[in-house]
Structure 1
Amino acid sequence: MATHDFNFLLATDSYKVTHYKQYPPNVSKVYSYFECRRRKDAQFHEVVFFGLQYLLKKYLAGRVITEEKIQEAKLFFQMHFRQKVFDEDGWRRVLEKYDGRLPIRIKAVPEGKIIPRGNVLFTVENTDPDFFWLTNYVETMLVQMWYPITVATISREFKKILAKHLKSTSGGLEGLDFKLHDFGYRGVSSQESAALGGAAHLVNFCSTDTVAGLLMAQRYYSCPMAGFSIPAAEHSTIISWGRSREKDAYESLLDQFPTGPLAVVSDSYDIFKACKHIWGDKLKERVMERSEDSTLVIRPDSGDPAETLLEVIKILEECFGCSLNSMGYKVLPSYLRIIQGDGIDLKSIEEILVKLSDEGWSAENVFFGCGSALLQKLNRDTLNCAFKCSYVESNGKGMDVYKQPVTDPSKGSKRGRLSLRKNSEGFIETVERGAGKPEEDMLVTVFENGSILQDYTLEEIRKHARLSEEDISPPLHNNDERNGLGIHHKHIMNGVH
């Protein structure tokens, strides 16, 4: 479970080391919760809960306190604060009484669940009155949940957009799980970010080049292979042939990978000439020899994404022709597709798909890759993630507590013990002040006194995160009302886990 060389005592904001001295006398319980605050101007109105199981398994489960780690922390904080503030006796009691396991309880939403902003996502409380200070000591680490939650949420927003356009221009959702490829490995801040973010994307899609995310899904979410890729060129493998041998570079790729899909970046010099004169002329017969299972995927990688892609698809239509699908939209031959991986974010992908459909093209023709906008251009404020204390017990009496800043009402916090339920109208809501009914509570105890009590698989999580019929309603054009078309949940996932 928790890594042996990791010192849990040092994994917190340093000022928290002093908090055991700051609570009122005779406090025996501190109860806190995590939420993505609701804001009127929010871009996202619901979130995908994901990533807690990794943090618990990696850092909190098992024997995380040892005498050696206590001594290391004691010395570190003595140097850091230049005075004795570290609670050596308190941590040693954890070691002696619980063999170094953490006496806390965490209840959480099942991973993959879609929860409206402003609701409790997990709660933390101490299980032993002697260790009331431990609840918020773990805040620093647990608030890092903002990252996988945010990536999983943004990835799902991409999926909503793709599903709407794919449904409206093709009549179905075939291939949806492979429409957005994770290009983000090199663009994140660390290997762990790549793992967490890459795995969060895999809650929604099965297409990735981020190996770290695949390994996390394998090791922490029991999924042997969560995502897939295809052979693909990069600029170095094209320009190393020299400009005069661009055609030879492409032809060699066709020779090296005669079967199976193949992606070739084609903008090293002139994407339009490459499509018209090389792919569409000199290598035309070689391209046409390929089958639907051995699709050539041409990749533009510069210029205005929408304009470049539209020009490329028109050139390919001139060279290879197209057909009309059941919805009346144009589709390139099955052996030929395009992937746009440059400049893709939620805004640009919508613009591209709208322009394609306006020009009569089905979303079947294109795949997308996304890097920074998926895994890095986000922060804790993207979803306004916060961890706050809402209940304490002193002298055997409970008290609901909260914050209510006069300067910012949006930062007001919840009160008392919390539960999460679906109300009589089917909407998810948080019940405050301990008024919830246990049998209605959606929060599940996932961690208690050092042990993991729930172990979700990625397959279960993907089922929780499936799109709804409303999510897949066709895109709105010219302020038209939704036409009510949708598709049942079970058709969304391809079953590849």
Structure 2
Amino acid sequence: MPQHLSDTNLILDTDSYKSSHFLQYPKGMTRIFSYLESRGGRYPTTRFFGLQYILDKYLTRRITKEDVEEARTLIEAHGEPFPYDGWMRVVNVHGGKLPLEIRAVPEGTLVPIHNILMSCTNTDPELPWLVGWFETMLMRVWYPTTVCTQSYYIREIIKKALEQTSDRAAEELPFKLHDFGSRGVSSRESAGIGGLSHLVNFLGSDTLEALRVGRNHYDADLAGFSIPAAEHSTITSWGKEHEVDAYRNMVRQFGQAGKIFAVVSDSYDLKHAINVFWGETLRKEVEESGATLVVRPDSGDPPAMVRLAVNALAAKYGTTVNSKGYQVLNHVRVIQGDGIDEQTITQILQNLNVDGFSAENVAFGMGGALLQKVDRDTQRFAYKASAGLIDGQYRGIYKDPVTDPGKRSKDGVLDLVQEHGRMQTRAYYTFDTDFPNSLMRTVYRDGELLVRDSLEVVRARG
């Protein structure tokens, strides 16, 4: 059997062809400056998040001689040249610490598209190619940033509806979009960092991995919360003829005063479950428990099913009209977790409004659409070199393809500043700058994480 490769060798976390780039730059190149931006996409701004995780988990590791030897053996056999002397310089001169400097906007910041979010440059003039080597890893910040951005914009949709129709908008909003996405992502790591990206904006999640990542990398003791909830297996295991007994068991197990519990109710017939079992057989027990029952439809057209459920529950449990003139269900709520995305959430909230119900009557569960149904082009992320030093002379670096002007990259040593009331990218055509009035910070230098924000601090920036 072939020898196993290390799971912690940072050198191997790149694209294969990067290993040939040390031979491709102009002779005399001593410095490269690269930057990350969102070139457009679905949303007009991004909520930057996740770089601290990447730096803390990966780039604070030390490169060892064993890492270098392992990488050389694999990469040369793979068909690429390998910068052995350069990597051994990292080991012997820098003690295994990566001679890079990374600047970034504070995490949680909303930044208009087409602006720099992060930059990377080398601190050892003999190793400029390291800036490109770690593009692959650093570019992955697109994922938590895109999840965080989508979650933020959905929060704004729900927030607007709550402010219009609820007396309790501030208390209700943090729990209105619940993360159901752990099983719908490609990996445990995606669940953790994607789930935590959502928790920058909300407090509800069933993704335990997000809590682990939050505690380990963002100093969050408890990043999110959940409630007891049924699934189809726990209801249907009682058999169709004992469906009401399954529901009764949920009330008796979790129906304590002040508590909330959710019960999927469409395993057989949602209308019958609401109108007969919840609305008649178990109504008194639900009301006397002092708990809040959350009924979950899980099939059919989401806007239609929520409309049906809310109106049917109102007929059985009654409503209270709030100060804004909207009805609030007594004792019960609805959560829709099937087919939820930005469009169905908008439609459901519009239906509630038309029917005279407060948005606080409904919560949403979002799974794969929240954590997986995004890609690098959702916000058109790019990491590009924009400046270099060759024989001590500054050179702008950029691409400008005639076939796609939208892909023109920026040139210069870039920074983000506030000018004329808005954020914009400023370019310096020299490396000799201390970035006056910058909105960015140096977060990493020479193998060390220099800034460590808590999740609480990140949340406050939105």
TM beyond 0.5: yes
Query: How far apart are the structure 2 equivalents of 1:173 and 1:352?
Result: 20
- Counterpart contact for 1:337–1:366, Cα < 8 Å: yes
Question: Deviation per CA, 1:331-377, whole angstroms, max 9, x where unpaired?
Answer: 111x2111011110001100110011011111010111000111011
Which consecutive residues of structure 2, in runs of 5 or more, have no partner in the other structure? 1-5
Which of residues 343, 346, 351 is equivalent to 1:350? Answer: 346
**Contact 2:255–2:286, Cα closer than 8 Å, also in 1:** no
Structure 2 residue identity aligned to 1:431: R
Deviation, 1:314, is 1.2
TM-score, L = length of structure 2: 0.96
Q: Displacement of 1:437 after TM fit?
A: 7.1
Q: Map 1:3-82 to 2 at 5 A.
A: 5-38=7-40, 42-63=41-62, 65-81=63-79
- 1:439 positional shift: 2.8
How far the C-alpha of 1:253 sits from its partner, in A, is 1.1
Q: 2:191 aligns to what SS in structure 1? A: helix
Matching residue of 1:375:
371
Q: Check conservation: 1:400, 1:433, Cα contact below 8 A.
A: no
CA contact (8 A) 1:105 1:445 kept: yes
Alpha-carbon offset, residue 5 of structure 1 = 4.4
Alpha-carbon contact 1:447-1:453 (below 8 Å) kept? yes
Number of the residue aligned with 1:473: none
Q: Contact conserved, 2:185 with 2:368, CA < 8 A, in 1?
A: yes
Task: In structure 1, list runs of 5 or more residues that go unmatched.
Answer: 466-497
Pick one of 424, 431, 448 that aligns with 1:429. Answer: 424
- AA in 1 matched with 2:325: G
Identity across the alignment (%): 46
When residues 79 and 178 of structure 1 are mapped into structure 2, their CA distance, relative to the original with a 3 A threshold, is same
TM superposition shift of 1:28: 0.3
- Map residues 68-467 of structure 1 onto 2, 5 A cutoff: 68-81=66-79, 85-171=81-167, 172-259=169-256, 260-291=259-290, 294-333=291-330, 335-423=331-419, 425-434=420-429, 438-465=435-462
The answer to whether the 8 A contact 2:394-2:429 is kept is: no
Question: Is 2:29–2:390's contact at 8 Å kept on the other side of the alignment?
Answer: yes
Cα distance between partner residues in 2 of 1:79 and 1:399: 35
What is the aligned-residue RMSD (CA, Å)? Answer: 1.2
Between the aligned partners of 2:76 and 2:409, the Cα distance in structure 1 is: 34
Give the SS at the match of 1:121: strand
Aligned residues, how many? 452
CA drift of 1:191 comes to: 0.1
CA distance in 2, matches of 1:143, 1:381: 12
Q: Secondary structure at the match of 2:425?
A: strand
- Contact kept in structure 2, 1:196 and 1:213, CA below 8 Å: yes
Q: Which has the higher mean CA deviation after the structures are superposed, 166-175 or 341-350?
A: 166-175
The CA distance in 2 between the partners of 1:437 and 1:69, in whole Å, is: 35
C-alpha separation in 1, matches of 2:105 and 2:374: 23
For residue 363 of structure 2, give the secondary structure of its aligned residue in structure 1.
Answer: strand
Shift of 1:388: 0.3
SS of residue in 1 equivalent to 2:27:
coil
Distance 2:218 2:65 in 1: 31
The code of the aligned residue for 1:216 comes to V
Letter in 1 for 2:165: T
Q: TM-score, normalised by structure 1?
A: 0.89
**What amino acid does structure 2 have at the position aligned with 1:14?**
S
For 1:160 and 1:36, the matched residues in 2 are separated by 20
- Residue by residue, what CA displacement relative to the aligned partner does 1:197-237 show, whole Å, maximum 9, x if unpaired? 00000000000000001110110000000100000000000
Aligned partners of 1:16 and 1:137 also within 8 Å: yes
Q: Which runs of 4+ in 1 moved over 2 A?
A: 171-174, 433-439
Q: Aligned partner of 2:33: which letter?
A: Y
CA contact (8 A) 1:342 1:369 kept: yes
- Write the distance in 1 (CA, Å) between the matches of 2:67 and 2:434: 41
Q: Is the 8 A contact 1:295 1:336 kept in 2?
A: yes
For residues 57-104 of structure 1, the C-alpha deviation after alignment (integer angstroms, 9 at most, x for no partner) is 1111141x11111111111012110x6x11111100110000111000
